[in-house]
Amino acid sequence: MKKMKEVPLHDRPREKIARRGASVLSENELIEAIIGRGTKTKDVREISKEIVQTIHQHRNNLRYEDFQGIEGIGPTKASQIMACFELGKRYFNTGTGSKVTSPEDILPLVAYLKEKKQEYFICVSLNGAGEVLSNRVITVGLLNHSLVHPREVFAEAIAERAASIICIHNHPSGSLEPSSQDIAITSQLKDAGTLIGIQLIDHLIISKNGYFSMREKGLL
C-alpha cells in the first residue's frame, strides 16, 4: 500500500472532496479525510484500513472504545469518528438493517437522486436475509452518461460478504426508458455476480417521474 505522501495530490481524499464531492470517496478515503494524518510510525492509510475493518465488525453497535485498540487512534481521533457517525445518523437515513422485499423499499434510500443534475450509479448491498448492509455511490457521471465496471460494483460487496446487490442510477432528463448501455451493463453485472456468487437482484432507474425496475420489466 502506498503511503499518503506517495499518492498524487489530486488523488488524495480532501482534494477529491474539493473537486468532486465526498460521495465519490471509498470508505477508506472517507476515514482518511476525517482523521487527516497518521503517526511517525504508521501512515494514515494503514490506520484508516484498520478503522474500516473495525466499523464493519461492530457496525450494529459501534462504540468509542472499539477504536482504542488501534495504533495511532487516540481520544481526539476516536471522538472525531464517533461524532461523524452520530451526525450522519441524525441527518441521513442510510437504511442499514432495513429489509428489502420490493423496489419501493429501496426508493427512500435514493430519493435524493431525483433532483441530481448528474448521473449517479449506486449499489445497495444486502445480506442473506435481504437486509441492507450498505448504500454507496459507485460513480458520478456527466449529464446522462456514466460508466461503471463490475469490479467497482462488487469490490465492497465482496468485502462485506454480501449475498446480493441492487443497483440504482438516475436519469437527470426525467426519462425512465433504459438505454442500450443500461441494459448492457445490467447483463454484465448479472453475469459477474453469478461468477462470484453475489446475485444482482434488480437494477432500478430513478427520475423525477418515478422508477423503472429491470426485473419487473423482464430485463433481468
Answer whether residue 142 shows pLDDT above 60: no
**In the predicted model, what is the mean pLDDT of residues 32-36?**
92
Burial degree of 115 (CB within 10 A; 0-12, 13-18, 19+): exposed
Residues 73 and 143 in one domain: no
Strands 199-207 and 164-170: parallel
Residues 161 and 70 in one domain: no
Give the residue among 190, 166, 23 at the shortest CA–CA distance from 95: 166
Residues 59 and 112 in one domain: no
* Confidence grade of residue 103 (pLDDT, cut at 50, 70, 90): confident
- Tell me if 170 is assigned to some domain: yes
Tens digits of per-residue pLDDT, 168-188? 999 999 999 999 999 999 999
Residues 70 and 112 in one domain: no
* Confidence grade of residue 193 (pLDDT, cut at 50, 70, 90): very high
Q: Which range has the worst mean pLDDT, 5-19, 48-62, 94-108, 151-165?
A: 94-108
Residues 172 and 203 in one domain: yes
Answer whether residue 190 shows pLDDT above 60: yes
- Tell me if 63 is assigned to some domain: yes
Alpha carbon distance 33, 181 (integer Å)? 34
Domain residues for the domain of 194 are 103-213
Mark which of 91, 126, 157 sits at the end of a domain.
91
Rounded to 10°, the helix 44-57/27-35 angle is 120
The per-residue b/e assignment along 66-99, b for 16 or more CB within 10 angstroms, e otherwise, is bbeebebbeeebbebbeeeeeeeeeeeeebeebe
Residues 120 and 209 in one domain: yes
- Tell me if 218 is assigned to some domain: no
Mark which of 68, 91, 114 sits at the end of a domain.
91
Give the residue among 133, 154, 144, 136 at the shortest CA–CA distance from 205: 144
- Tell me if 48 is assigned to some domain: yes
Residues 87 and 108 in one domain: no
Q: Does residue 72 come out as left (phi exceeding 0), alpha (psi in the -120 to 50 range) or beta?
A: left
The residues, any chain, with a CB within 8 Å of residue 104's CB and separated by 6 or more, are none
Residues 148 and 168 in one domain: yes
- Tell me if 97 is assigned to some domain: no
Residues 124 and 173 in one domain: yes
In the chain, how many domains are there? 2
- Tell me if 51 is assigned to some domain: yes
Mark which of 24, 59, 91 sits at the end of a domain.
91
- The chain-wide mean pLDDT, for the chain, equals 88
The residues, any chain, with a CB within 8 Å of residue 90's CB and separated by 6 or more, are none
